[in-house]
A and B are shown apart, each in its own frame.
Chain A
Amino acid sequence: MSDFADFKTPCQPNWCPGCGDFGIWASLKQTLVLLGWNPTDFVLVYGIGCHGHMVNFLQSYAIETLHGRPIPVAEGFHLANHTLPTIVVAGDGDTFGEGTNHLVHAARRNIDIKMILHDNQVYGLTTGQTAPTAQKGFKTKSTPFGVIEDPVNPLAIAIASGATFVARGFAGDIPNLTKIFAEGLRHRGFAFIDVFQPCVTFNHVNTYQWYRDHIYQLPDSYVPNDRGYAFQKSLEWTDKIPVGIFFREDKPTYVDQTPQLSKSPLISLPNAPKETIEKLFEEFV
């Protein structure tokens, strides 16, 4: 059992008023209360970007890592103590500028960590340069004549790489985002959740209103169990952009397939007894 007050810290959010991060923050806290998790029941692993400031505003075991590196830190933590749920909170620069490699490998490992991507198409902390998720033609300080490249597609990369839970939500729709977070946090395996996050200061194209005009919920008739179809769906980016759960699959996790971790987490395993070590030395005689 937990309530909102449990996740309070002495620090107040320093995000710009109206930032999409507030919606993600609120949804995450709602999800934690919904699941009955206490601040000591899980670990949050942050990257660097506006999202990373959440380390100061959400009470939990946490580690704010380096830009691009929350995934491997989370993987190491999980392998050492897989009984404590591990949630990565990362930005789009974090994930697709510096850390794409880590995402691809975490997904194909089906390592049992959950990942929430703050996707605002822009670098806020460095005051407004293009992010890898920015749409073609988007004008920023680093692309005054418009972005030349096509954007990366977070969902398509996650699905192609083998993530077993792939979803997209919108920071301006807290009830639906909370539902997705709850499903993602309950999933066993690598869960990837892309969150549209309006940046009110540096992205004047993809505003709250823009998202409201363009997104639609995947219908109830959509069954997220077909990887090929989910991939196809993830490519949909026309006047209308789908949000919801695109794909989920039950598959053995990395730890499920690591025999030495079958009974207890690594941290609880005793050191090898001296006799076992001495026997190992004998093999070198």
Chain B
Amino acid sequence: MNYKTWKIGGEAGFGIMVSGLTLSKALARSGFHIIEINEYPSLIRGGHNTVSITFSPDELSAQYKPVDVLVALNKQTIEYHREELGGGAIVIYDGSQYEIEKTPESANFLSVPLLTLAKSVGGDLIMRNTVALGVSMAILGIDFEILSNILTSQFAKKGEKVTTLNVSAARKGYDYIFSNFKEFASKKEAPKQTQKQMVVTGAEAVGLGAISAGMKFFAAYPMTPINAILNLMASIQEKMGIVYKQPEDEIAGINMAIGASFAGVRSMVATSGGGFSLMVEGTSLAGMIEQPIVIVMGMRPGPATGLPTWTGQADLHFVLNASQGEFPRLVVAPGDAQEAFYLTSVAFNLADTYQTPTFVLVDKYLCETRYSTPIFEASKVSIDRGKIATEREQGKEIEFPRYTFTEDGISPRGIPGRKKGVFRANSDEHNEYGYSEESAENTRKMIEKRMKKQMAADKIAPDPVIYGEKDADVTVIGWGSTKGAALEAIKNFKEEGKISVNYVQLNYVNPFPTVAVSRILGNCKRVIDVEGNHNGQMADLIRMKTGYEIKNKILKYDGRPFYPEDIIEGLKKYV
């Protein structure tokens, strides 16, 4: 395996997150594939933060645990992460500031006076990370010019002085390695691939997918892990001709989105489990009045406030069963940045086609992990608004029968404000014209109408993608962000050549590809379920849908994401 992992650690508030983004961009521009993960407690300042980046000239889907280069902005970083150091690891620390114990012996401890170098160009404490970036460039063998270009565009808004300061600080670090630790500087490698790459988090990919899908209205109350979506929307709203509204709470958020959807625009909300708890009643309103909305639900460990800045996949059944009554709740669960982008646009089409709330179910890991990925193709996004009545159709009678009974349960929608064809939406059970009606016959027919839409949706779930050999000895099945670690794990087994393992990615949760999953599981020699929760929620869903019981499970519910090593180790128990 051809990869390396770089990690930077220090107190929150010292620009560690930005360093990660900068290095990721530099690596991606140099032709490497990257996966960047941040880990931080729920604090603004002072907690221990890390960013780690695994990079490889080959395709890469997840991070590996051993750290090859550790940049320590403080002493604690070395104490906390000593055990993660791989053989021959390089540790950058500032020996002029603190003493450290130099173990393990296999590691190389390079003392670089980060603070002194920052001060030498007129910088201060907060610029140590920029010096460290220069150091890292030299050690990883990246062209300094790539870094200086990124810094220049990053600081463009802050003026030339700040830009120059940062570039010189980075240069100091870069040169220091060549002057003092030349033997640790890497030779520049020609990148294997030269395709332009984006460096994007899962959350940003969701946001860009929504924009490409013609989303016009977005309401989101700040909450980890979806903040990057609202930060993006807020900053681009004017340029893109959309409205982002920060509501007073998640209840207001989802109701605003429903109101905007009723007016006729594509609307979205985003939240995490706690916020979604407040959106549950709104979800049922959208279900009852058949108003399309997209709900981005970013899972993190619960119950209650739980682990606000960590990850998990424990809300699958929560989302599938949210709200009172029977109505379709459609769910897609992307597994990486590309899937996040395209499946978000699919979610808008599902919502509009079936006129029902549709979820993009993601997690903290996917939302905040940065992926290098080929540039998204806006032209590949198709927009299907479903059945919307033309102005003429709507105006045929004085009143427009918004909830008219149809074969597939889907009734054409009207647009309020048109001069003819007035109609109403009604959270009470209603008849075809939207008037409240409680007769037994109408109730039965309306519930059947709404559930016919589920049956129509069931027909369009695409078969899940099988990664790896078709007839493998072992089949791993997972959903959402588990994909990355699973793909790396099966690659490892392939390289070892002992047994073959393939991976089935379930990214359509509802509609669920029941027939395909039954067939795939029926033909498998051995199946292992991998997911980030205690109960094996997807395994339960698979059993409910197909009757197939998966007995072997690799479950993780410690707030941390799956690493390839976790799955490899888990698989070894079963094979």
Contact = CB atoms under 8 A, between A and B. Distances in A.
Interface of A: 9-11, 38-40, 43, 45, 48, 53, 55-56, 59-66, 69, 71-81, 83-84, 101-102, 104-105, 258-261, 266-267, 269-272, 274, 276-278, 280-282, 284-285
B241 A270 contact: yes
A274 B240 CA distance: 11
Nearest to B395: A40
B417 A81 contact: yes
A79 B249 contact: no
A47 to B, nearest CB: 10
Interface in B198-239: 198-200, 204, 208, 211-212, 214, 216-217, 219, 236-239
A45 B259 CA distance: 9
A59 B423 CA distance: 8
Contacts of A75: 245, 252, 256, 259
Interface stretch (B33-41, B92-100, B262-270): B262-270
B274 interface: no
A160 to B, nearest CB: 16
12 contacts: A39-B422, A43-B416, A45-B259, A64-B436, A73-B256, A77-B263, A79-B259, A80-B243, A81-B416, A266-B217, A267-B216, A284-B204
Contact of B248 (A11, A56, A105): A105
A281 B256 contact: no
B258 A274 contact: no
A60 B240 contact: no
Ranked 9 nearest A-B pairs via Cβ: A76-B259, A76-B256, A80-B263, A72-B255, A77-B259, A80-B260, A73-B259, A72-B252, A61-B416
Given A77-B259, A79-B245, A80-B265, A66 B417 contact: no
B161 interface: no
A284 B240 CA distance: 16
Contact of B281 (A66, A83, A105, A276): A66
Contacts of B264: 80-81, 267
A80 B436 contact: no
Contacts of B469: none
B116 interface: no
A284 B199 contact: yes
A259 B239 CA distance: 10
B263 A285 contact: no
A267 B388 CA distance: 14
Contacts of B241: 260, 266, 269-272
B212 to A, nearest CB: 6
B252 A66 contact: no
Given A72-B259, A76-B267, A272-B240, A62 B252 contact: no
Interface stretch (B351-359, B372-380, B508-516): B372-380
B255 A65 contact: yes
Contacts of B259: 45, 63, 72-80
B178 interface: no
B182 interface: no
Interface of B: 25, 28-29, 196-200, 204, 208, 211-212, 214, 216-217, 219, 236-243, 245, 247-249, 251-253, 255-265, 267, 281-282, 285, 289, 375-376, 378-379, 383, 399, 415-428, 434-436
A58 to B, nearest CB: 10
Given A61-B416, A72-B252, A259-B238, A79 B260 contact: yes
A267 B415 CA distance: 10
Contact of A64 (B219, B263, B427): B427
A274 B379 CA distance: 7
A79 B260 CA distance: 7
Given A40-B422, A73-B262, A105-B248, A80 B242 contact: no
A9 B216 CA distance: 33
A78 B255 CA distance: 12
Contact of B216 (A60, A80, A259): A80
A38 B395 CA distance: 14
A229 B426 CA distance: 40
A26 to B, nearest CB: 20
A77 B261 CA distance: 7
Contacts of B251: 69, 72, 102
B263 A278 contact: no
Given A40-B419, A84-B263, 5 more contacts: A40-B420, A55-B426, A64-B428, A76-B256, A285-B198
Contacts of B375: 278, 281-282, 285
B258 A76 contact: yes
A177 to B, nearest CB: 24
A37 to B, nearest CB: 12
A123 to B, nearest CB: 17
A127 B237 CA distance: 47
A280 B262 contact: no
A105 B199 CA distance: 37
Contacts of A269: 216, 241
A281 B252 contact: no
A11 B435 contact: yes
Nearest to B213: A271
Contacts of B424: 55, 60-64
A65 B285 contact: yes
Contacts of B249: 101
Contact of B417 (A61, A261, A272): A61
B223 to A, nearest CB: 17
